[in-house]
Structure 1
Amino acid sequence: MVVEIDAAQLASIGFTAQQLSAQIQQSDAKVSSGQFRSQNNDLLLEVDSDLDSLERIRNIPISFSNQGQFTLLGDIAEVRKTIAEPANELALINGHPASALAVFVKSDYQIDLWAKSAEAAIEKFRQELGQGLKLEIIFNQNNYIQARFNSLMLNLLVTGILVFGITVFLMGWKSATVVSLALPLSSCMVLGMMKLLNVSVNQTSIIGLIVALGLLIDTAIIVVDRITKNIVSGLRTETAINDAFNHLFLPLTASTLTTALAFLPIVLMSGPGGEFAGGIGISVIFAIISSLLLSLTVGSGLAGKLYHIYHHYSQNTQRKWWQTGFTHSY
């Protein structure tokens, strides 16, 4: 609010600018105007004198004599709204004054779906703007999240290709097929667990998935290798799978739990650091647990089926390196 004094009117009542300012301040003072007493309470009464509108300020009485004469502030000054100078905060976009509005999505909302509805509302508002006004989105976190997710998909694809190629070279195409499937299946299972437990998918959880990619295939390689040796040694498929499960369940579970416990302090970290990095630890823990469960169930069953079919089909033929790998040349 700006009060522009009419010098002639102010001089006619014999006031100075300092005296006028003092009376305006006194009219907005929060002072007690009485008391309310009862058996249980003793309360102070206060008149609602907030100067919350132009009309209230214009009607402030200005006393200028000992005889009780007064005039209204609006009679001796112009009261209007304006921009505060100097401003407490300024928003500049490309060097031009602007009004900036930040909108935050709730943690239980999916940001990609929320962003679509938000952009639709922004577009509707943009069409209602007057001439000379412009509405721009200067930061959209959904684009950053989408880029992270695309990076995860690319890393998953590249990792899958490298894992398949290396495993074919060392263990043969059957092992490579089962081990490579551990990557997408474990990733899907992690996302399902996060959805079930209401853990939001954000940039830190995606980073955690990228970190965990190298940990997803260890269990699958161990299980597949054990089943392969059992079948090649002459055991029936069911017996080979049961033997691998009984032999590997405890050591693999212990290994998975120790790795999970190593990341648990990140999940339990408090403060802003824990809020930021907690998603990484949660993703890694979910990933290695998913890898263990899939390797002992889906992976072992698929490995047994592939080796059972191929073993009976090719037991009388010479095997190539890409069929058994250099480490499985039985």
Structure 2
Amino acid sequence: IKWTIADVKILQLALISETDEYSRMEKEAEQLEDVLKKVSGVRSIKVSAYPEQEVRIEINLEKLYQYKIALSQVINIIQSNNANIPGGDIDLGGKNFNIQTSGSFKDLKEIENVVVNSVNGQILFLKDIANVCRTYEDPKYIAKFNNKRAIFISADQKIGTNIFDVSNSLKEKVEEYKSKLPKSMSLETVFDQSQSVDKRLTGFFLNLLQGLILVGTILFLVVDIQTAIIVMLVIPISILIGIGLLDLSRFGLEQMSIAGLVIALGLLVDNAIVVTENISRYIQQGLSNFEAAVKGTSQITWAIISSTLTTILAFVPMMLMQDITGDFIRSMPVTVSYTLLASLLIALTLTPLLSEKFMSKNSVSKERKARKFLNKFVSNTYKSKLQFALDHPKTIIISAVIFFLISLSLFPLVGISFFPKAEKPLFMININLPEGSSISKTEKVANYVEEILMKKEEVINFTTNIGNGNPRIYYNVVSKTNADNYAQIFVELKEYNYDEFNNFLSELRNEFDDFAGAKIEVKDFEQGPPVEAPIAIKILGDDISSLRKISLDVENIFINTEGTVNVNNPLSTTKTDLYVNINKEKAAIYGVPIFEIDRTIRASINGLTISTYRDKTGKEYNIILRSPEGEKTDVEKFDRIYVSSISGGQIPLKQLAKIEFKTSPLTINHFDLARTVSLTSDVLSEYSVNSVTNQIVEKLKSYPFPKGYSFYIGGELESQQQSFGGMAKAMIIAIVGIFGILVLQFRSYKQPLIVFSAIPLAIIGSIIALLLTGNSFSFTAFV
């Protein structure tokens, strides 16, 4: 059986050291990577959160200015001295030899001794105007585990492999490798996906065991011991066949398929009970076991086929959902259908066989006599209630309608949330600083959050990612990448208790709310397919300034609506950029290509990759040309930059361009060909997503949108509408199919209508149960 999960990392490790160089940590991580790659079932191993080494040429712009040397001239000379062009081949004495040149740099000394110019007969070397060294790139991704410097190693599995086999093999290799690590390093497990899958499967098998015990006990009390044993035997066999069919269909045992098995547990027992009970009845009437098995089964064959098919048809609409929600939940209705088909097959084959072998008239009769008192009590109680209903049909019908209407009136109190919370002792903290903030500033804010987490007794571990999101360990969480102003902290608590968990998150939110200079969001995990956010409202229009004004008003509506948290408005802040306004006419007069200006500015300010260097081991490093680290960067720096003209002249940049400050929005998105801004929000656990969204929508309906501006509802509500909207036609077809099967079975139109009339009454118990348990109406409640 292929136990699979969604396409996420199944294992995340942290290689920790506070003293070792990153290069040594990287070496150990890569050695472990090589070991783990060999494990059967592993698709890939990724090492992340360490800075790459580079050869850095720190150019002194003052000396360039002094010698009137353009930066592009230095770039071209370095590139031409590091060329390795094949020299062709030559025929010598009847043998063919390839010609190789030794043009590439052998060591850093060769780079330092590159001649860049000759002034008054004096040779000027690169080392005279620059410092050449091998060092680490500027940090782009900083990782820590429990506030200790770390490198992450994460693994994902091949599709169709057994997560437990792969995970156990990986963990064995990890334990072996730990003994080889230097004392200054340690290796810790950040996240193990197999534990989560194991909990789900354990929950399912406990449900199966509980179901078997309950079914067996009830059948023993009401029917007989043989029937109880036979039914208890065929239930797990039906489950195994269903899992086998699931495997053949390339579905695995994952979150939704396990949920399907749990649902099927309550359905598949019916066929076995009906068949065994009918066979038992014929044995009591004096038929032989063989005759009773044949007659008892054949008499109700079409009845149980009809009942099974009607149940399967009820799940067909979910199979036909086409959007992302359909992809997410499809394995659940498929699992239910396969398991029910398996139970039907077993009920018509194995169940009669077992009944013929193990049932006897004496034991059946004896068992029934032993429970005569219980049967009499049940029969008399039910008979009296049924007789009352038959004698007072109007009273019963009116009462049912009243209860139905009352339950519908209570529905707003229940609320709607498409998918419930994940209910795991895990959550995330997302940190967003203003656009343009440095990664060092982001690290300071992350350190502040870490200090608070370290004081909390409930916290076991926390994993910090600065400049990047955590490796994907949960199927519907897609984190940011390569953002200096962003950090994400993945937190694990000792245990999960609904009230205590939500109180803890509220406590953290209160501590972070007043933090100035950064937005710190505390988010718990949710179930369901990925959506932009539980609540999302898109504002559409053409003018950016008008969109920004409207978005700020809508943001206030979000904030002032009870139940919202982590409100985000991309246009609430703007970014200011330095704009190099190139005078193209002057550039053309001086013969300076625009590309030359762009390249020179990039190299002078942030650094530019100009070539590569290969050391003696064969490892390649980028050669970066840039200003010295720590050099003061200001607008005057642009005055010291020279660019090369086509004729070889050196032209000051200030003669060709003006440096200006320019303000612009962070992002400009489009929806239906119109400019748009999307405002998003999470919802507190005690509130319904639909209820909060509807409150916001009602306020927006009364908002005075200018002509040409409108709003569009996204988020979870949009996902619901798309999912259930696409399911409407399939539901009509399924209902017609169910009705057709019932008509064929009963050979009547009235009886199927009577059966259908009872379906809405199920809402009464559903709504009362949801109210009593404090749950909202979700997709699982719908099923």
Q: Give the TM bin, normalised by the shorter chain.
A: 0.7 to 0.9
Of 293, 299, 307, 1:241 maps to: 293
1:191 has 2:243 as partner: yes
Q: How does 1:252-263 map to 2 (within 5 A)?
A: 252-263=304-315
Q: How does 1:105-254 map to 2 (within 5 A)?
A: 105-254=157-306
For 1:24, the equivalent position in structure 2 comes to 75
- Report the Cα distance in structure 2 between the residues aligned to 1:244 and 1:13, rounded to whole angstroms: 105
> How far did residue 244 of structure 1 move?
2.7
Report if aligned partners of 2:257, 2:335 keep a CA contact under 8 Å in 1. yes
Of 110, 115, 130, 1:77 maps to: 130
- Report the Cα distance in structure 2 between the residues aligned to 1:278 and 1:66, rounded to whole angstroms: 75
- Report the Cα distance in structure 2 between the residues aligned to 1:172 and 1:187, rounded to whole angstroms: 24
Report if aligned partners of 1:182, 1:216 keep a CA contact under 8 Å in 2. no
- Report the Cα distance in structure 1 between the residues aligned to 2:323 and 2:149, rounded to whole angstroms: 36
> How far did residue 169 of structure 1 move?
2.6
Report if aligned partners of 1:173, 1:322 keep a CA contact under 8 Å in 2. no
Per-residue CA deviation, residues 229-260 of structure 1 (Å, 9 max, x unaligned), is 22222333222222233222223223222322
- Report the Cα distance in structure 2 between the residues aligned to 1:123 and 1:130, rounded to whole angstroms: 14
Report if aligned partners of 1:209, 1:283 keep a CA contact under 8 Å in 2. yes
Report if aligned partners of 1:91, 1:100 keep a CA contact under 8 Å in 2. yes
Report if aligned partners of 2:219, 2:227 keep a CA contact under 8 Å in 1. yes
For 1:193, give the aligned amino acid.
Answer: L
> How far did residue 139 of structure 1 move?
0.7
> How far did residue 141 of structure 1 move?
0.8
Unaligned runs of 5+ in 1: 30-50
> How far did residue 274 of structure 1 move?
3.6
Segment drifting more, 165-174 vs 106-115: 165-174
Per-residue CA deviation, residues 118-157 of structure 1 (Å, 9 max, x unaligned), is 1122233333323322211111111111111211121111
Instruction: Describe the shift of the 1:271–1:141 C-alpha distance in structure 2 as closer, same or farther (beyond 3 A).
Output: farther
- Report the Cα distance in structure 1 between the residues aligned to 2:205 and 2:366, rounded to whole angstroms: 42
> How far did residue 277 of structure 1 move?
2.0
For 2:371, the equivalent position in structure 1 comes to 321
Instruction: Describe the shift of the 1:13–1:282 C-alpha distance in structure 2 as closer, same or farther (beyond 3 A).
Output: same
- Report the Cα distance in structure 1 between the residues aligned to 2:148 and 2:278, rounded to whole angstroms: 68
Secondary structure, counterpart of 1:108 in structure 2:
coil
- After TM superposition, the score normalised by the length of structure 2 is 0.34
- Report the Cα distance in structure 1 between the residues aligned to 2:110 and 2:318, rounded to whole angstroms: 57
> How far did residue 111 of structure 1 move?
0.9
Q: How does 1:273-284 map to 2 (within 5 A)?
A: 273-284=325-336
Secondary structure, counterpart of 1:199 in structure 2:
coil
Of 318, 322, 340, 1:266 maps to: 318
Instruction: Describe the shift of the 1:235–1:26 C-alpha distance in structure 2 as closer, same or farther (beyond 3 A).
Output: farther
- After TM superposition, the score normalised by the length of structure 1 is 0.75
Secondary structure, counterpart of 2:58 in structure 1:
strand
> How far did residue 91 of structure 1 move?
2.1
Secondary structure, counterpart of 2:256 in structure 1:
helix
Segment drifting more, 130-139 vs 200-209: 200-209
Report if aligned partners of 2:220, 2:227 keep a CA contact under 8 Å in 1. yes
Report if aligned partners of 1:13, 1:64 keep a CA contact under 8 Å in 2. no
> What RMSD in Å do the two structures reach over aligned CA positions?
3.8
- Report the Cα distance in structure 2 between the residues aligned to 1:314 and 1:260, rounded to whole angstroms: 33
Secondary structure, counterpart of 1:234 in structure 2:
coil
Report if aligned partners of 2:318, 2:329 keep a CA contact under 8 Å in 1. yes
For 1:145, give the aligned amino acid.
Answer: V
Secondary structure, counterpart of 1:139 in structure 2:
strand
For 1:14, the equivalent position in structure 2 comes to 67
For 2:129, give the aligned amino acid.
Answer: I
- Report the Cα distance in structure 1 between the residues aligned to 2:284 and 2:155, rounded to whole angstroms: 62
Per-residue CA deviation, residues 86-111 of structure 1 (Å, 9 max, x unaligned), is x3333222223321122111121111
Segment drifting more, 180-189 vs 149-158: 180-189
- Report the Cα distance in structure 2 between the residues aligned to 1:323 and 1:287, rounded to whole angstroms: 36
- Report the Cα distance in structure 2 between the residues aligned to 1:82 and 1:271, rounded to whole angstroms: 49
- Report the Cα distance in structure 2 between the residues aligned to 1:299 and 1:13, rounded to whole angstroms: 97
Identity among equivalent positions (%) equals 27
- Report the Cα distance in structure 2 between the residues aligned to 1:153 and 1:71, rounded to whole angstroms: 78
Segment drifting more, 168-177 vs 101-110: 168-177
Unaligned runs of 5+ in 2: 1-53, 81-103, 380-783
For 1:4, the equivalent position in structure 2 comes to 58
Report if aligned partners of 1:266, 1:278 keep a CA contact under 8 Å in 2. yes
Report if aligned partners of 1:20, 1:62 keep a CA contact under 8 Å in 2. no
Instruction: Describe the shift of the 1:315–1:157 C-alpha distance in structure 2 as closer, same or farther (beyond 3 A).
Output: closer
For 2:243, give the aligned amino acid.
Answer: L
Structure with the higher fraction of residues in helix conformation:
1
Report if aligned partners of 1:126, 1:135 keep a CA contact under 8 Å in 2. yes
Instruction: Describe the shift of the 1:217–1:25 C-alpha distance in structure 2 as closer, same or farther (beyond 3 A).
Output: farther
Instruction: Describe the shift of the 1:231–1:128 C-alpha distance in structure 2 as closer, same or farther (beyond 3 A).
Output: same
Segment drifting more, 157-166 vs 180-189: 180-189
Aligned residues between the structures: 301
Secondary structure, counterpart of 1:100 in structure 2:
strand
Instruction: Describe the shift of the 1:283–1:26 C-alpha distance in structure 2 as closer, same or farther (beyond 3 A).
Output: farther
For 2:199, give the aligned amino acid.
Answer: A
Secondary structure, counterpart of 2:188 in structure 1:
coil
For 1:94, the equivalent position in structure 2 comes to 146
Report if aligned partners of 2:224, 2:367 keep a CA contact under 8 Å in 1. no
Report if aligned partners of 2:231, 2:269 keep a CA contact under 8 Å in 1. yes
For 1:34, the equivalent position in structure 2 comes to none
For 1:319, give the aligned amino acid.
Answer: K
Instruction: Describe the shift of the 1:99–1:180 C-alpha distance in structure 2 as closer, same or farther (beyond 3 A).
Output: same
> How far did residue 63 of structure 1 move?
4.6
Structure with the higher fraction of residues in strand conformation:
2
